[in-house]
Amino acid sequence: MKKTLSERIRALFSSSTPSDETFDELEDALIEGDVGVRLATDIVEQMRNEKQPPGGTREDIIEALKKRLRPYARQVEITPAQAPDALTFILVLGVNGVGKTTTIAKLVHHFAESIGRDRILLCAGDTFRAAAVEQLAIHAERLGVRIVKQERGADPGAVIYDAIESGKSRGARLLVADTAGRMHNKADLVAELSKIDRIVRSKIDESVYHRMLVVDATTGQNGLRQAEVFHEAIGIDSIFLAKCDSSGKGGIALAISQQLEIPVSFIGTGEAYDAIERFVPETYLAGLIG
Ligand SMILES: Nc1nc2c(ncn2[C@@H]2O[C@H](COP(=O)(O)OP(=O)(O)OP(=O)(O)O)[C@@H](O)[C@H]2O)c(=O)[nH]1
Ligand SMILES: [Mg+2]
């Protein structure tokens, strides 16, 4: 099996004094770990140029590296608004198969205890893919939460509009909406998302409106490109980094943060409903770097 980034770094700095080559290899390892070429080059350059080379023990070097990466491990906490009459809206976005629908179920599980299942509402905004509505409806039933849905092929903006109306009239505190993951045509995506965004903004205050992009931690630099497209189309408030259990990767969150300044809210660590954790920068860096 391929070595993880942290294994590679540990192996690299096992000898006493790191050479120029060691730093070249560190740069390669970081790039292959998806932290992005620019960030990898900058960080390694800084470490190379330090007057006092980090020297010392391997742990010192690893700590120095983590310290330099820390500003890019941006975090944001997303919670339903405290005001009992405020409806918090999470729009879940992302390309095909990244884990959007599963993520929605996990978010429900995560917030159910603090705000109550009866105050959570789902919206089947993916009206495009066959069986997408049913898939979300099954989660809603299992989790014991209400869902607003229409037929496949319905206008997603209309379903979302209905869901917001329904949530407000029934006193829901959290509305989470699924969306279709197609991205084959950027102009279409921008048009569709802009329309949804206009509808949401007309009904939901910006302070309780979260556009959450699900990124598969194992997809490499593709994740950065996805973030760029969605950020340009609708403006992304946070990343849900899914499939963090699947490999030693996940460095893509640093690349997205460095390029687009988007923070991470949660990570997904498996397929089960409880496989969700708040993003903790120190824990994340420890997992990535060692
Ligand atoms: N190991 C692992 N698998 C995950 C995680 N999140 C989602 N999955 C799996 O990824 C696959 C796709 O998940 P979905 O939730 O259907 O993804 P989606 O983005 O809604 O897909 P589309 O609706 O087809 O665009 C499923 O097999 C999920 O069980 C995770 O954190 N870890
Ligand atoms: Mg889906």
CA of 122 to the centre of ligand 1 (A): 17
Q: Which of 102, 183, 222 to mutate to test the pocket of ligand 1 (most atoms within 8 A of CB)?
A: 102
What is the per-residue pLDDT for 1? 57
- Given a cut of 60, whether residue 78 has pLDDT beyond it is yes
CA of 214 to the centre of ligand 1 (A): 10
CB atoms within 10 A of CB 124: 28
- Given a cut of 90, whether residue 143 has pLDDT beyond it is yes
CA of 214 to the centre of ligand 2 (A): 11
Which three-class secondary structure state does DSSP give residue 75?
strand
Does 270 sit in the ligand 1 pocket, CB within 6 Å?
yes
**C-alpha distances out from residue 106 to 15, 123, 140, 146, 154, Å:** 44, 15, 11, 15, 25
Does 117 sit in the ligand 1 pocket, CB within 6 Å?
no
Say which residue, 11 or 99, is predicted with more confidence: 99
For 249-270, b where at least 16 C-beta lie within 10 A, e where not — what string?
bbbbbbbbbbbbebbbbbbbbe
Which residue, judged by its Cα, is nearest atom 26 of ligand 1?
Answer: 99
pTM for this entry: 0.95
What is the per-residue pLDDT for 101? 97
Confidence of residue 202 (pLDDT cuts 50, 70, 90): very high
Which regions of the chain carry the CATH code 3.40.50.300?
A: 88-279
- Judge whether 193 and 221 are in contact, CB under 8 Å: no
Q: Cα–Cα distance between 282 and 265 in angstroms, integer? A: 14
Does 36 sit in the ligand 1 pocket, CB within 6 Å?
no
CA angle 133, 180, 105 (to 5 degrees): 55
User: Does domain 88-279 match CATH 3.10.290.10?
Assistant: no
Label residue 178 exposed, middle or buried (CB < 10 Å: 0-12, 13-18, 19+): buried
